Amino acid sequence: MSSRSQAIADILTRAIIDHRLVPGCKLGERELAEIFGVSRIVVRQAVIRLADDGLAQIERNRGAFVAKPSMQEAMEIYDALTLVEQGVAAQLSERLGPGGWAELRQHVERQRQAVAAGNDALADVLGQEFHSVFVRLSRNKVMQDIHAQLVRRTTLLRSLITADFDYCNLLDDHSRVIDLLEKGRLKKAMELIDTHHRSVVRGYIMDRAVFPELSPREALAPYLADGAANTEAANDEAGSEHKGAQIYAIPPANLRRNQAGDP
């Protein structure tokens, strides 16, 4: 573990993208310090990291809050995400070998099975993960980091927003993008990526409470070492054969069908 503030920043990030800490929620230094059993300073450092990542807003002498992006900012984040994924698509269409396409197809297939099995939680995570796998194949760590940050911010947006779109369509989009790219039909693929993201944004309605507001103590309880028993129970519920296992450490607080996350 690099540092304690990093560990705490990671937990807070996780809690935010799990929609357990919702936008606007106060991240009081003293309260968090008590919850994590560390000094205020460590908490402040963690919160600074979140703020640099766009997940928190720090107001001088008032404290830190989970970020509450405006609709304008939401559009910008999705635009940036589209731009990045289109660019990666262009690179992959030139450089990716058969193994890469196979990996992508395999990922889509796993998601399809999850949907078929009715495991929405798994399908949801796989749907988000697809985009990350896609970018990872570019073999560009810098780009990966930028993309991951944008994805986190879109996930945050989903706390603020009710999505109203057809889940299966998005799965098909992934599949079609792969086909188009492998056939060299780059322009068509890029249009599809754009449409894909737009179809997500279009259904958004802001200023509606989507997830319940929990106190930081309630929200963070499952991530603490003390709550290990609790955590494992949650894990069993979600499914087990997936390698990026810690994703399931805590299931979203409030996951329903048709609210599935997919940037």
Partner DNA sequence: CGATGTGAAATTGGATAGCAATTCCTGTTT
Partner DNA sequence: AAACAGGAATTGCTATCCAATTTCACATCG
Nearer to a copy of itself, 86 or 132 (CB): 86
Question: Does 7 help bind a copy of itself (rule: CB under 8 A)?
Answer: no
- Are 45 and 5 in contact, with CB atoms under 8 Å apart? yes
Question: Does 77 help bind a copy of itself (rule: CB under 8 A)?
Answer: yes
Question: Does 49 help bind a copy of itself (rule: CB under 8 A)?
Answer: yes
CA R_g for the chain: 19
Question: Does 42 help bind DNA (rule: CB under 7 A)?
Answer: yes
CB of 66 to a copy of itself, least distance (A): 18
Q: C-alpha distances in angstroms, 210 versus 100, 142, 146, 233?
A: 37, 33, 27, 25
The type of residue at 142 is V
- DSSP assignment of 56-97 equals EEEETTTEEEE----HHHHHHHHHHHHHHHHHHHHHHHHH--
261: tokens are: 């996350």
Binding-site member from 45, 132, 175, 199 for a copy of itself (CB under 8 A): 45
First to last CA, the chain: 29
Which range binds a copy of itself by CB under 8 A, 12-20, 30-38, 49-57, 226-234? Answer: 49-57
254 contact, one of a copy of itself, DNA, none, CB 5-8 Å limit per kind:
none
CB of 5 to a copy of itself, least distance (A): 7
Tell me what percent of the chain is helix, strand and coil, each rounded to the nearest 5. Answer: 65, 5, 30
Among the listed residues 216, 228, 261, 262, the one whose alpha carbon sits nearest the alpha carbon of residue 20: 216
Q: C-alpha distances in angstroms, 176 versus 7, 83, 188, 192, 234?
A: 38, 18, 10, 8, 34
Question: Does 245 help bind DNA (rule: CB under 7 A)?
Answer: no
Q: How many residues bind a copy of itself (CB under 8 A)?
A: 32
39 contact, one of DNA, a copy of itself, none, CB 5-8 Å limit per kind:
DNA
CB of 45 to DNA, least distance (A): 7
Which range binds a copy of itself by CB under 8 A, 23-31, 87-95, 170-178, 252-260? Answer: 87-95
Nearer to DNA, 42 or 151 (CB): 42
Question: Does 142 help bind a copy of itself (rule: CB under 8 A)?
Answer: yes
Among the listed residues 45, 46, 37, the one whose alpha carbon sits nearest the alpha carbon of residue 15: 46
Nearer to DNA, 42 or 108 (CB): 42
Nearer to a copy of itself, 95 or 217 (CB): 95
Give me the residues that bind a copy of itself (CB under 8 A), please.
Answer: 2-3, 5, 41, 44-45, 48-49, 52-54, 58, 60, 73, 76-77, 79-80, 83-84, 86-88, 90-91, 140-143, 146, 150, 153
